[in-house]
Amino acid sequence: MPAIKKLSLILIAISVLFTTFCGWAKPLLTAEEKQYISRKKTVIVGVVNDNEPYSFFRDGAEKGFSVDFLRLLEKESGLRFEIRMGNWTDIYKAFLSGKIDVIDEISYTEERARIISFTDPYHFRKTVFFKRGDDNRFSGLSVESLKGRKIGIAKDIYYLPILREAGIELTEYSNYADLMKSLAFGWTDAVVASELTGKFIARENSLPNIVSVGNAGLDKLHQEDFRLGILKQSDPLLFSVINKSLKSIPRSSVSDLEQMWETFSGRDIAKPEKIKLTHEEEAYIKSHPAVSVGTMPDYSPFSFVSGGSVSGYTRSLLDIISKQTGITFLYSPNNWPEIIKSFKKGRLDIMADMSYTEDRANYTLFTSPYYQIPNVVFVRDDFGGYSGLNSIRDKRVGVMSDIFYMDKLKSMLKSPPKEYVSQDDMLRDLAFGRLDAAVTALNAGNNIIKKYALVNLRIAGSFSPEGVGMEDLRFGITKRHPLLHSIMEKALKGISPEEHIQLENQWITAKVPEASTGRNLFNPEEIAYLKKKKVIYMCVDPDWIPFEKLKNGNTHIGISADFFELIRPKLPAEITIVPTTTWEESLLAVNSRKCDIVSLAMKTDDRRKYLNFTSPYLVVPNVVATSVNEPFISGIESVLDKTFGSVKGYAITEVLRRNYPSLKIIEVTNDEEGIRMLQQGRIYGYIGTMASIGYQISQQKITDIKISARLPQDWELGVGTRNDEPILGSIFQKLVLSVSPAERNEILGRWLSVRYDQKFNYDLFSKILAVVALFLVVMMYWGNKLRKLNTQLQEANQRLQELSEKDSLTGLYNRRYFSANAMQVFGMCRRSGIRFSIAILDIDHFKRINDTYGHVTGDLCLQRIAHTIKQHFLRENDTSARYGGEEFAVYTTGGDENALASYLERLRHDIETICVDNEGDCIRMTISSGVYSLIPDNRDTLDDAVRKADDALYKAKQNGRNRVEIYTED
């Protein structure tokens, strides 16, 4: 008995030391408090309803951050809570009258403290400003930067007087959903809301690219403290129990809840278990290892064709499903009517990005939705007042053919809408007057506007008539393959919320991916050239904003500057700007070889004499601006007797002079000078890009000029490289192609997000568009031929790249690639606070196998081991390699510190079962593995991580082999 008491005392002491070490110790309840808990059957807690994401009622249950916190508190205290929801006035009144025991989400004030006992705060609700992520006008947010902007705010919110006192112009909205939509749709420049509320509402309503940017120095926008309150006169023991229990909840648990509601809309962030397939489903995959998928070529950012292959959110989602199931997806991009037709005829197994309708359900098995997008109405800036869907009733409206809301839209319009098979064509027709409005998905429309710089388009409002919800993107599976449907449904449910967020960050919110190095982008000849070259001298247009500008004579800003920021890290040579004062001076410098490249240039016959050109990375329309008092121009041929301005040395000047020799053109230094001459009446019209003229109109608040016509020649702008060093052209062609459409859209969004108030009218453009159509047909023919050649070239380059990256015997990555790639990922993990885990694996006694059976059999053993490693590490964040001889290496990201060790333990077990036949002998093998896992900070290096994994491997060998050891500090 004494020994047991002594052991109990030791355990108690260890427990106390442990809780002290962890930084918190659970307050001890008194005997009276414990009796109280056992007696108290139910505690009624009052919570405010419709207070998303804190507390709200949905799907028959109370939900929200505060509700989840009450569940934590309930578990910690042993009490049972009954939640009563209502508006604040009714809840507070019931609390004061004693009908409710506890009130939640209440902030401390001295006046309230006279009658209420307050717990410690469990959350602080921060009030912040939100802006669009692609709007670069709010760098260094301040009250001054907000003045003159349109700022949205919730109606009657308590901090409204604070903002009015600061001189900020405010627009009130009746609910938070409308408030956040006003920002996403461009009706406001910024909005004010609780940080958690704003992020939750944006995610719930699929409003991407909205970011919080602080309180603009308005300290009066204080943080609201969330506490629980109990009347002092009612139940002091209840307060004591609740306050002690609240203090016992670790801060980390509260932080996890905050993240769950801010980032994952309240979904559990734990990764789902690996999907479990039935025998029938596994047999289906064996007999159908590849299935066909129909996708659209222009439904960015979900499905689009880039560089000859399908890209986008949906493609990345299917890549995850492929790794989960082993199914290979074969993509068949085409316009929507054609892929629907092929799907119905049984030529396609799956339709991507398909919305549910009852009619489609007759021939389709639908999965659950994987994304939802708001549908909106786009109009031109000259549309006039918009007061809801009745405003388009008698207008020319465009819509995608066979869209799920087609019948509803037709019933609302006097005339049938014009149906399109191409989103690009529809939005361009709207921009140039062939339509009055277009209905499409928010993301797709915004991406096309950025792609073609259609700066005269805006969002008029949501398209959400009764019975039409958001566009729900699903996979549609042919009814011939019910097992494929069940596999796809299981795979979608097996994708974690964290993986969904990663997909959104990659494709929807247009965050720039980590820059890759040029190590594997260039061939040895190109790398040798760049090492010898060391510095590449670049000329730019010093005054062509928003495309580019030399600020203060030497700082490169604008669209092309941001583009080059993406490609600089991939180039093993420096790029140095050669300062010039005019575009003409820049062209002279590159012609005389003072510059090696020009950042943004259009191909012309004259420039081909001294420059080669990459594929264009920017295509923008050319337009003519005139006085508002002049009529719209039906075609340039009708005004050949007039005088126009254009920047000296610009490609469009050369093209116009060649095509219209009699046209009178006065050359100017820059857009600003040309527009000034137009305002002064010295020229009839000014020729430039829609984006650059629109930018000047917006920045200078110009009201006396308008866009009168579009020219048939678009600017197709790429990088110009000196033609006496052709290898430079090859290098920059690769660099241009390495920038993804998502990255380009993000750049365009930053510089072309301004909404202009000018009134444009394009009703007279039908003649000029006929010329454009003919021009496009010719360009499409040659473009198709070039695309085929480019595809063949890319495939050859891909094969060469694989040869340089892969180990020829095993097909795994080689050590050089593994180390370079791991370095990038390690840096990303360091910046983002993500776990990085690495393992070194070694085949036990492999020399004995080589010596006994020979190197041919040894190579076969290596191949079997490598194949097994591949099968175990299929996820996107897994990378495996042959590290040298019989050594292999693996790294993963995310998960917990024991995740990689668990995977390796399963791998170790499977390798034990391998039997390599050698003339009747069964060769068995085992492996030893060393693992090191960390969340790296600035003190950590990849070399240290590799060394520690190697130390753990050595320990596994010492401890008997055929085991997994995790590195620990001795």
Q: Could you tell me how far CA 467 lies from the centroid of its own chain?
A: 29
CA contacts within 13 A on the Cβ side of 101: 17
Length of the chain: 970
**Interatomic CA distance for residues 328 and 331, integer angstroms:** 10
Whether the CB-CB separation of 78 and 29 falls below 8 Å is answered with no
**DSSP string covering 57-124, please?**
EETTEEESHHHHHHHHHHHHH---EEEEEE-HHHHHHHHHTTS-SEEEEE---HHHHTTEEEPPPSEE
- Indicate if 886 belongs to the active site: yes
How far apart CA 782 and CA 920 sit, in angstroms, is 61
Nearest-CA neighbor of 153 among 118, 113, 188? Answer: 188
Q: Cis link prior to 542 (omega < 30° from 0)?
A: no
- Tracing tokens 């965050």 back to the chain, one arrives at 511
Cα gap 900→932, rounded to integer Å: 9
Question: Half-sphere exposure (CA, 13 Å, Cβ side) for 914?
Answer: 23
CA atoms within 13 A on the CB side of 91: 19
The amino acid at 768: I
Q: What is the 3-state secondary structure (H, E, C) of 195-233?
A: HHHHHHHHHHCCCCCEEECCCCCCCCCCCEEEEEEEECC
DSSP state of 690: H
Give which of 247, 230, 236, 249 is closest to 36, Cα–Cα. Answer: 236
Cα 909 to chain centroid, rounded: 39
> For residue 722, which of 591, 618, 548, 863 has the smallest C-alpha distance?
591
**Contacts with 482 (C-beta within 8 Å, 6 or more apart), sequence order:** 365
Whether 726 contacts 671, CB under 8 Å: no
Q: Which two structure tokens, joined as six digits, stand for 778?
A: 């010719």
CA pseudo-torsion sign 363, 365, 370, 375: positive
Q: Which of 62, 471, 886, 965 is catalytic?
A: 886
* 874-879 contact pairs (CB < 8 A, 24+): 874/323, 875/323, 876/319, 876/320, 876/323, 879/813, 879/818, 879/821, 879/822, 879/825
Q: How far apart are CA 126 and CA 196, in angstroms?
A: 8
3-state secondary structure of 726: helix
Assigned token pair, 800:
């060469």
Label residue 619 left, alpha or beta by phi (over 0 means left) and psi (-120 to 50 means alpha): beta
CA distance 465 to 537: 56
820-841: b or e for each residue (b if 16 or more CB lie within 10 Å)? Answer: ebbebbbeebbeeebbbbbbbb
Radius of gyration of the chain (CA): 32
CB 949 within 8 A of CB 838: yes
Percent helix / strand / coil, the chain, rounded to 5? 40, 25, 35
Q: Are 294 and 335 contacting, i.e. CB atoms less than 8 angstroms apart?
A: no
Longest dimension (CA), the chain: 114
Considering Cα of 44, then 48, then 52, then 57, what sign does the dihedral take? positive
Q: What secondary structure letter does DSSP report for 296?
A: -
Residues forming the active site: 886
